């Protein structure tokens, strides 16, 4: 793996942010204050997280997490951050499924208190498979687990997807419907095309990404099936595990209505991304974990739904990931953390995998 520094995730001052948070907490719960605030090492670039204790005799939770829309000055990864949408999604999942999600405490849509909309939720204790260094690398807790323990975690994770898709009422999640005409899958693809256009609006375009869009248009599924509530960022790095069982399912900002296969393919492919990265360094990784065929069989056994057109959906997952990676790379260039290459496709970390998929030699 490259030794380049991890891309910055914020341009905000942590001390000032804490002071403003304490003023806001006092307005909601007089006398309340945040204790031991910290930004987790895994803080993402799409929104910011602050972990803190809540000191007050009537505190609704002792351990809290704040999710704050990304700083517009930080060359954001996504063009829009709808914190109310995420908050409503968490509430819907909590009210209608047995999926473990953090308890929502407060939503603040006014930008004045912290400079951007945010919400506060309870914090679950446990372990998260790391992205940096990836959980597929030697030395972390998941890599060091036994085969039986990883199998238990895999089965429990697939169960999360199955229960979400079967239990969450899509009819009550109309606020997650993406705009535009056509089926939910058509709308989902249109949103990705719009996102890509935004990413390259002032930067070089990607021939590889555009080739992938063309391949998907030529291999469109004949029957995408009814829409379900799709988590969107369905991967083990967004789950807090208590032992090897999910304790909290996080990061719902990419939630939408769409086919079941969107989440299945994202779970499978995002593991393969880390596995490919690990193998490129000469390590073995976890080649027997979250294998495509096993995930599909487990899901079918739990739901009765046999996943369809998975070549399409896994390539779509790789394409979506490539667009995000391209934006993050352009962000690094913006902040002087990387130099622009002659070929913009060299900025896409999963370029070899996406090219192999397009050539029919990946799976």
Among 271, 270, 265, which residue's Cα sits nearest to residue 314?
265
| 151-206 per-position pLDDT tens digit | 999 999 999 999 999 999 999 999 999 999 999 999 999 999 999 999 999 999 99
Instruction: Write the CA distances from 33 to 15, 46, 106, integer angstroms.
Output: 14, 26, 15
Neighbouring C-beta atoms of residue 159, cutoff 10 Å: 17
What is the helix (H) or strand (E) element at residue 242, kind and residue range? strand 239-242
| 11-41 per-position pLDDT tens digit | 567 788 899 999 999 999 999 999 999 887 6
Q: What class does CATH assign to 14-122?
A: alpha beta
Distance between CA atoms of 51 and 63, rounded to whole angstroms? 8
CATH number of 141-358: 3.90.1200.10
User: Which pLDDT score, from 0 to 100, does residue 44 have?
Assistant: 52
| 80-124 per-position pLDDT tens digit | 899 999 999 999 999 999 999 999 999 999 999 999 999 999 999
Among 181, 166, 176, which residue's Cα sits nearest to residue 258?
176
User: Which pLDDT score, from 0 to 100, does residue 214 have?
Assistant: 98
Which SS3 state, helix, strand or coil, does residue 163 take?
helix
| 339-354 per-position pLDDT tens digit | 999 999 999 999 999 9
Among 30, 131, 45, 87, which residue's Cα sits nearest to residue 253?
87
Among 270, 258, 267, 269, which residue's Cα sits nearest to residue 298?
267
Percent of the chain with pLDDT over 90: 88
Domain boundaries along the sequence of the chain: 14-122, 141-358
- CB-side neighbour CA atoms (13 Å) of 205: 10
Q: Per the residue annotation, which of 95, 98, 202, 233 is the catalytic one?
A: 233
Q: Sorting pLDDT into bands at 50, 70 and 90, what band is 46?
A: low
147 is catalytic: no
Tell me how far the alpha carbon of residue 202 is from its chain's centroid. Answer: 25
User: Which pLDDT score, from 0 to 100, does residue 272 have?
Assistant: 98
């Amino acid at each position: 793996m490259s030794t380049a520094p991890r891309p910055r995730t914020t341009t905000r001052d942590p001390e000032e942010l804490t002071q403003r948070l304490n003023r806001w907490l006092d307005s909601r719960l007089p006398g309340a204050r945040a204790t031991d605030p910290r930004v987790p090492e895994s803080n993402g670039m799409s929104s910011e997280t602050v972990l803190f204790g809540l000191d007050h005799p009537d505190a609704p939770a002792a351990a809290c997490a704040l999710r704050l829309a990304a700083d517009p000055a930080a060359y954001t990864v996504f063009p829009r951050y709808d914190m109310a949408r995420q908050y409503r999604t968490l509430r819907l999942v909590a009210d209608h499924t047995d999926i473990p999600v953090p308890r929502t405490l407060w939503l603040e849509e006014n930008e004045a208190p912290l400079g951007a909309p945010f919400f506060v939720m309870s914090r679950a204790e446990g372990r998260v498979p790391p992205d940096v260094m990836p959980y597929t690398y030697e030395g972390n807790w998941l890599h060091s687990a036994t085969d039986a323990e990883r199998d238990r975690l895999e089965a429990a994770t697939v169960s999360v997807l199955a229960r979400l898709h079967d239990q969450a009422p899509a009819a009550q999640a109309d606020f997650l419907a993406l705009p535009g005409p056509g089926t939910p899958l058509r709308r989902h693809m249109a949103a990705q095309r719009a996102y890509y256009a935004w990413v390259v609006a002032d930067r070089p375009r990607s021939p590889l990404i555009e080739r992938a869009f063309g391949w998907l248009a030529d291999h469109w599924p004949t029957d995408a099936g009814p829409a379900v509530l799709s988590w969107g960022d369905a991967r083990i790095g967004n789950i807090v595990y208590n032992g090897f069982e999910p304790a909290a399912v996080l990061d719902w900002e990419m939630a939408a209505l769409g086919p079941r296969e969107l989440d299945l393919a994202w779970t499978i492919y995002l593991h393969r991304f880390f596995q490919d990265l690990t193998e490129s360094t000469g390590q073995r990784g976890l080649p027997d974990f979250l294998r495509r065929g096993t995930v599909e069989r487990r899901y079918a056994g739990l739901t009765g739904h046999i996943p369809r057109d998975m070549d399409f959906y896994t390539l779509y997952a790789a394409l979506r990931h490539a667009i995000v990676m391209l934006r993050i790379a352009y962000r690094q260039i913006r902040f002087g953390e990387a130099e622009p290459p002659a070929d913009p496709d060299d900025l896409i970390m999963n370029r070899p995998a996406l090219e192999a998929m397009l050539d029919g030699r990946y799976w």
